[in-house]
Amino acid sequence: MTQFVSVRAMPSADSRLIAAVCAAHLMSHYYLLMLAPLLAFVRADFQVSYTQLALALTVFNVVSGVLQTPVGFLVDRIGARVFLIVGLALSSAAFAIAGLFNSYWVFIAMYGVAGLGNTVYHPANYSLLSHHSPPERLSHIFAFHTFAGMLGSAIAPVTLLAMQSYFGWRGAYIGAAIFGLIVLAVLLAQPEPPAEHRRAGRSGKGRSSAAVGWHLLIAPAILLNLAFFVLTSLMGNGLNTYLVVALGALHATPPAIANLALTSLLAMNAIGVLAGGVLAGRIRQHALIAGSGLTVAGVVTALIGIFDLPAEALIGLTGLSGFCVGATYPSRDMLVRAVTPPGAFGTVFGFVSTGFNIGASIAPIIYGMLMDHGRAPFSCCPLR
């Protein structure tokens, strides 16, 4: 019988804190999607080019990527919960100010502040989850955590556009900030209980964190995990951003069918995360799960590029690709935890998570060049 819902058996204080951490992760992904559905409205209001507006995302990713690892060190030395509270407060306040002030440069600056707030989520969240989860339930809880982030991404466009239709894009930004403040209030109401499941020390403070430094991050096992994050980020950003246009250019796939294929990929990716949590809890060969899932996803994605498939097959195969990638995420997180010394969860997860920023920064350049030179991002075949 599956233990996937066995979080109910955990101490109530721990389970409430974990639920609040997952809610904060939902908000972090929600905030990552803030600009995309409102881009045209913000651009028209400020009367700037798309390139000028894209500076906001560049500032966000640069600040987040550069500072996330140092914040990870601080999380281990000072405590994860306080940093998560500060980060969520910074993010929410930044988007509220971005909506309140009629200034392009204030808007850009607030994305820098939001990037600073974003630095805390992975190091603080994974530190709290690692310290307050029973080891036998950890893969399931990592899966819930990842799924919560995907849920935030999924609900962002529809809710933001709904708020925009009633209150304008500024009202949407302020509304999103209010959502974040509600989650912040929930997090503040959950004190951090003594962690019965810690392997050593207090929440990463003191001598454990003092014993690790930058030398830990250049260990081969840690660098391999960083590379894993970078490569999966490159793959995910390429498919999520270019799948629709690439299918149209390569196989003349109608936009409606291509968008259904993208929806299938994203939905099955989220379902795959939940299934992967169960799988990682039962099979301890996490590297085998991660490698097998990505291999199958890579082969399936190549088939999509090589063959002009019927709509049903295309939608089914993109869903299979998304499911296989999603199923690797809990094992990926377990692999990182397995090579992390006690008291260094914030440091290591903060460092390897910069792979997301690295991948997100270079993926548009790589795949844009492929498209410009007549090649689809997932195919060796020339575009029509």
In the chain, pLDDT over 70 holds for what percent of residues?
A: 89
Residue 378 has pLDDT above 80, yes or no: no
Residue 210 has pLDDT above 50, yes or no: no
Q: Hey, CA dihedral for 164, 167, 171, 176, is it positive or negative? A: negative
Cβ atoms of 346 and 221 within 8 Å: the answer is: no
pLDDT tier, 5 (very low <50, low <70, confident <90, very high otherwise): very low
3-state secondary structure of 382: strand
Q: Report residue 188: phi and psi, to 5°.
A: -65, -30
pLDDT at 309: 93
Average pLDDT, the chain: 85
pLDDT at 204: 41
End-to-end Cα, the chain, rounded Å? 51
Residue 77 has pLDDT above 60, yes or no: yes
Rounded-to-integer distance, Cα 382 and Cα 82, Å: 52
Mean pLDDT (whole number) for 16-23: 92
pLDDT tier, 7 (very low <50, low <70, confident <90, very high otherwise): very low
- What is the tens place of the pLDDT at every residue in 303-327? 998 999 999 999 999 999 999 999 9
CB neighbours of 66 closer than 8 A, spacing ≥ 6?
Answer: none
pLDDT tier, 11 (very low <50, low <70, confident <90, very high otherwise): low
pLDDT at 259: 85
Rounded-to-integer distance, Cα 176 and Cα 192, Å: 26
Mean pLDDT (whole number) for 172-198: 86
